[in-house]
Amino acid sequence: MALYQGGYSNFAAKRAARHGRTKEYKASLEQNKKSNSTTKQVENSSSTKPTDTGSRDLMGHPPVMAYPSAKGLQENTGDSLLIKCFKYVVPDTGIDMDYEQRVATKDGTFNGQTIKAGQPAKTKSGEIMNFPVKNSASLRNLGSSDRYRKEDALFYVELPIPQDINDSNSVTWSDDNMNIFQLAGLSAIQSGLRDTGATFEQASELMRSGIPDKLLGGDMKDQLISIISGKAIDALGNNLNTNSVLGRSQGTILNSNLELLFNGVNLRTFPFSINFSPRNAGEAKMVKFIIRAFKSSMAAKKRTNEEGQGGAFLGAPDVFSLQYRHGNETHPFLNSFKHCALTGMTVNYTQSGTYATYSDGTPVNMRMNLTFKELNPVYHEDYGDGPGLDGVGY
């Protein structure tokens, strides 16, 4: 019986050792080192000094991790969840513009220098100047999720595909109302912004000729009088509602023109639960590395090497890309993800309902809950580009 096989308590492990299974325990460790590729990788890459990836140090864990240890990134072992960690990259927002060089059309002076026709414009220091091209300005608005390259990953983790898989897409729509006078005022403002002179002339003509009955319709004049009267009384210190005045005097209210209008986009959240039941020493070490990797990556970073609370600013935690895998390929059906932040993590070290460990202190059964939230919203155009073409899309 190999170490960790089937799971037993610390007490049982000690009892087994007393019955002469110490040799079998040692043989299990040696066998793991020889035959388990993942264990070999962990043994070779782990050390007391963090591994340098060029972007930042890995805090005591290897760059490639997988559970169960029989699974490797190069093995076709069924469906899995592949998680890659990246150093956070800030969004890139600004204005792009084309530039051109310009030459003098005639002899003269520019920036205090004498120039001849055909010569390029120069600064006072003698450098050729570049001028913005008319109507070439464009908005640059790249979200953080748009700026990552797959080769920049800090580390990889391959986990068994979770048993509870779902996605939820939502946008925000909200009720909105605006009465006829508000709509008219909005229309007047919009027209004024487009053509101030024409709008002023229209308003002047309306005031000179009076408001025709066909425009107001029916008893609209009486209702306007009621509204104006209510506002006049309100100015004297009474809080009167316009619809209250109309209801009492005319038996009507203003048409609110109620509509449901688009109000914004939402970010998606993905909770995952992974159970760990290490079967041997190699898997126990791998589970420890995986938990440590997620914990260290979701923590904020000090911007200085000072002890204690650090400097005046803190750096953002790392972010992650998630991908469902079918063998060695992207899953042909399940949803895709944009880059995510790990916003929550809990680990239950007594998932079996009682405290039980192996002889080296490793819990026999653990449950890791991860909550990821996407950095950027999903847009219609995303379904026709990149991962949006895979399976059901985002």
- Digit-coded pLDDT (tens) for 233-284: 555 455 667 777 667 667 777 778 888 999 999 999 999 999 999 999 999 9
Whether residue 232 is predicted with pLDDT greater than 60 in this model: the reply is no
Specify whether 161 is located in the same domain as 65. yes
Instruction: Between 211 and 270, name the one with better pLDDT.
Output: 270
Tell me the percentage of the chain whose pLDDT exceeds 70.
65
Look at residue 255 and tell me if it is in a domain: yes
Instruction: Between 351 and 3, name the one with better pLDDT.
Output: 351
Specify whether 314 is located in the same domain as 295. yes
Specify whether 180 is located in the same domain as 245. yes
Domain termination residue (choose one: 136, 160, 190): 136
pLDDT number for residue 123: 76
Please give the single-letter amino acid code of residue 44: N
Please give the single-letter amino acid code of residue 251: G
Residue 326, beta-bridge partner list: 79, 329
Look at residue 4 and tell me if it is in a domain: no
Tell me the percentage of the chain whose pLDDT exceeds 90.
35
Q: How far apart are the first and last CA of the chain?
A: 45
- For residue 38, the tally of other CB atoms under 10 A from its CB is 25
Look at residue 307 and tell me if it is in a domain: yes
Specify whether 258 is located in the same domain as 274. no
Query: Do 120 and 129 form a contact (C-beta atoms < 8 A)?
Result: yes
Look at residue 394 and tell me if it is in a domain: no
Q: How many domains does the chain have?
A: 3
For 221-242, what is the mean pLDDT?
Answer: 56
Banded pLDDT at 43 (limits 50, 70, 90): very low
Q: How far apart are CA 53 and CA 36, in angstroms?
A: 25
Highest mean pLDDT among 27-36, 255-264, 282-291: 282-291
Specify whether 242 is located in the same domain as 336. no
Specify whether 318 is located in the same domain as 188. no
Nearest to 162 by CA among 71, 70, 319, 276: 276
Whether residue 16 is predicted with pLDDT greater than 80 in this model: the reply is no
pLDDT number for residue 152: 82
| SS3 state at 372 | strand
Q: How far apart are CA 316 and CA 327, in angstroms?
A: 33
Specify whether 283 is located in the same domain as 348. yes
- Domain span at residue 39 reads 10-90+145-173+265-389
Whether residue 336 is predicted with pLDDT greater than 60 in this model: the reply is yes
Instruction: Between 162 and 39, name the one with better pLDDT.
Output: 162
Domain termination residue (choose one: 232, 263, 294): 263
Q: How far apart are CA 371 and CA 270, in angstroms?
A: 6
Nearest to 344 by CA among 270, 235, 263: 270
Domain termination residue (choose one: 228, 244, 263): 263
Instruction: Between 169 and 43, name the one with better pLDDT.
Output: 169
Instruction: Between 31 and 91, name the one with better pLDDT.
Output: 91
Specify whether 336 is located in the same domain as 372. yes
Tokens of 141: 């608005």
pLDDT number for residue 134: 80
For 369-391, what is the mean pLDDT?
Answer: 90
pLDDT number for residue 27: 44
The string of DSSP codes covering 244-261 is HHHHHHTS-------EEE
What angle do the packed helices 37-45 and 281-297 form, to 10 degrees? 50
Least confident range from 91-100, 151-160, 275-284, 314-323: namely 91-100
Look at residue 49 and tell me if it is in a domain: yes
Look at residue 1 and tell me if it is in a domain: no
For 254, list phi and psi in degrees, rounded to 5. -70, 135
Banded pLDDT at 4 (limits 50, 70, 90): very low
Banded pLDDT at 3 (limits 50, 70, 90): very low
pLDDT number for residue 34: 43
Average pLDDT of the residues of the chain: 75
Specify whether 159 is located in the same domain as 304. yes
Instruction: Between 180 and 300, name the one with better pLDDT.
Output: 300
Look at residue 3 and tell me if it is in a domain: no
- For residue 306, the tally of other CB atoms under 10 A from its CB is 9
| SS3 state at 86 | strand
Instruction: Between 251 and 71, name the one with better pLDDT.
Output: 251
Look at residue 325 and tell me if it is in a domain: yes
Specify whether 200 is located in the same domain as 217. yes
Specify whether 371 is located in the same domain as 318. yes
pLDDT number for residue 347: 97
Nearest to 226 by CA among 201, 204, 243, 203: 243
DSSP element (H, E) containing 229:
helix 220-235
Specify whether 52 is located in the same domain as 26. yes
Tokens of 132: 């913005």
Residue 373, beta-bridge partner list: 269, 341
Instruction: Between 61 and 137, name the one with better pLDDT.
Output: 61
Banded pLDDT at 105 (limits 50, 70, 90): confident
